[in-house]
Amino acid sequence: MSSNPTPQSDRRGAGDDDAVLKVRDLSVSFATRQGLVRAVDGLNLDVAPKEVVGIVGESGSGKSVAMYSMLGLVRDANASITGSVVFEGREILGLSDKEMQPLRGGQIGMIFQDPMTALTPVFSVGWQIVEQIRQHTELTKTQAKERAVELLAEVGIPDARRRVDSFPHEFSGGMRQRVVIAMALSCNPKLLIADEPTTALDVTTQAQILELMGRLRDTHGSSIVIITHDMGVIAEMADRVTVMYAGRPVESGPEIDVVRSPRHPYTWGLLGAVPRLGERSERLATIPGNVMSPLDVPEGCAFAPRCEYAMPECVRRPAMTGGDHQHACWLSDEQRVAIGDRTKEAS
C-alpha cells in the first residue's frame, strides 16, 4: 500500500463528528483467472451533511464498483473488499445482508444509470414505491400509497394520482428517472448515491434531472454522492470532487479548486474534454489512449502510460498530497507552471 495514509484533520466540512459518510482506504479486488484485478485501490471520501460530492472518471475507473461495494451490492464470491466505510458514525463494511437491509433504501438511497431497466417491468411504479416505504416504515398500504403520490408529484410527474398505477414502460426515460429518484427519496435517506444519473438521458432531460436533484437536496436535506464521467455534471452539482483513474483517486478537493486549477494531468484531460451541456460526447477523446485493462495497471502511477508529461519518477506510485486540494502526481508546482506557460504560448 502507499506509504502515507492521507491526513484528514485539515479537510474542510468533513469533521469526524458530523460526517455522513467517511470512507478510508477502500479497496475492492477481484480474483480472476488472469490475475488479481484491483477495481478500487485506496479510495478516501468524506461526505458532510447536505454536501454534494462528485466522483469523476472514465468508465472502468472503478467509481461505480466503489459505491456498490460500500452497500454490499458487489455479490461476487471472488471479490475482496477492504478498508473502512463509516456511515453516520457506524462501520458498515462487512455487515451482513440482514444488517444492511434497513440502511439500503432506508437511510441510503440509490439512483441508477439506466432508468429503462432499473424498475421491475411487471409492477406499477406506485407498487414499487409502496414496497420500499413499507419495507422501512410502519405506514399502512393506503398511507404509503398516499406518500407515493406525493413523491411522484414532488419529482415533477404530472397527474401523479393517476400515473401512480402506471407501469414503468408507460413512462419516458426522463420520467422514469424521476420515478427512480422518487423511490430513492421515499424514506428520506441521509445519503443519496447517484450512479451516472443522467448518462442515459437526452440533453434537455439531463439538465432537468440535475436541477431536480439539486432542489431535492435542499428540501430533503440528503447528502449526495454523484458518480459521473461528465465534468459538466460536476461543475453543475458538486461541492467537492474526487477524480478517479484505474481504481485510484488521483485528485480531490473543492469543486471550484479542482475545476479552476486542476493539478493532475488526468484531470487536465478530463477538463479539456469537458462536454459543455448541450453537446454530450460519450468518449473523452482528447486524452490519448483508453483506460487500460485493469490487469495491466502498472506498479507506479497508473496514468503514466497515457500521460504526456510522464517522467522517470512515475515508475513509483505517487501518494495523495496537499491540503484540502489533494493530488497524486510527481510533477512539481514549478513544472506545472512551466507546462501551463507552454500551453498558453502554443495556443
Partner 1 sequence: MIARGSESPWRSSLRQLRRNRASMMALGLLMFMVVASLLAPVYAHLVAHVNPFPANVQGTISLGGKTVPVLQPSTVGFGVTPIGPTWHFSSYFLGADPQGRDVFARLLYGGRISLLISFSSAIICCVIAAILGMAGGYFGGGIDWVVSRVFDIVWAFPVYLLAICLSVILLTSGLNIGFIHIAPGSLLLPILIIAAVYIPYVGRPVRGIVMTLREREFIQAAVGSGASDWRILRKEIWPNVAPTVMVFFPMMVAFDMLTESSLSFLGVGVQPPNATWGTISNDGLQLLYTRPWVSIAPGICIVLTCAALNVLGDGARDAFDPKAKLRGGA
Partner 2 sequence: MFTFVVRRLVSAILVMFSISVMVFLIFFATPGVNPAARIAGRSASPQVLAQVSAEFGLNRPLPIRYGLMMWHLFIKQDLTSYVNIGVRVIPQITGAAPVTLSLVLGAAVIWLIVGVAGGLVAAANRGKWVDPLIMFGGIAAVSIPVFWLGQVVGLLTQTKFHSVFQWLPGSGYVSFTQSPGQWALHLLLPWFTLATLYAGVYARVLRAELVNAMNEDYVRTARAKGLSERRILMRHALRCSLISVVSLFGLDFGSLVGGAALLTEVVFGLPGIGMLTYTSLQNLDLPVIMAAVMYGAFFIVLASAVVDVLYAVLDPRVRVVK
- Coil, strand or helix at 87: strand
Q: How far is the CB of 28 from partner 1 (least distance, A)?
A: 9
Report the residue number, 103 or 212, with the smaller CB distance to partner 2: 103
Q: Is 131 in the site for partner 2 (CB under 8 A)?
A: yes
- Coil, strand or helix at 43: strand
Angle ∠(305,310,315) on CA atoms, nearest 5: 75
Report the residue number, 114 or 150, with the smaller CB distance to partner 2: 114
Q: Closest Cα partner for 181 from 161, 208, 204?
A: 208
From 29-37, 123-131, 260-268, 295-303, span contacting partner 2 (CB under 8 A): 123-131
Q: Give the contact letters, 32-71, x = binds to partner 1 (CB under 8 A), - = no.
A: --xxx--x-------------------xxxxxxx--x---
Q: Is 296 in the site for partner 1 (CB under 8 A)?
A: yes
Q: Is 76 in the site for partner 1 (CB under 8 A)?
A: yes
User: Can you tell me which of 169, 283, 316, 342 binds partner 2, judged by CB under 8 A?
Assistant: 169
Name residues contacting partner 1, limited to 142-161 (CB under 8 A): none
Report the residue number, 68 or 303, with the smaller CB distance to partner 2: 68
Q: Is 245 in the site for partner 2 (CB under 8 A)?
A: no
Q: Is 121 in the site for partner 2 (CB under 8 A)?
A: yes
User: Can you tell me which of 32, 78, 117, 321 binds partner 2, judged by CB under 8 A?
Assistant: 117
Count of C-beta atoms within a 10 Å radius of residue 279: 8
Report the residue number, 296 or 324, with the smaller CB distance to partner 1: 296
- What is the SS3 string spanning 237-262? HCCEEEEEECCEEEEEEEHHHHHHCC
Q: Is 117 in the site for partner 1 (CB under 8 A)?
A: no
Which residue shows C-alpha cell 439506466?
114
Please tell me the number of Cα atoms within 13 Å of 260 on its side-chain side.
7
Residue spans of beta strands (DSSP E) within the chain: 21-32, 35-47, 52-56, 79-87, 90-91, 108-111, 191-195, 223-228, 240-245, 248-254, 326-327
Spatial neighbors of 194 by CB under 8 A, at least 6 apart, are 110, 111, 213, 224, 225, 226, 227
Binding site for partner 2 (CB under 8 A): 71, 73, 77, 97-98, 100-106, 109-110, 112, 114, 117-124, 131-132, 135-136, 167, 169-170, 180, 183-184
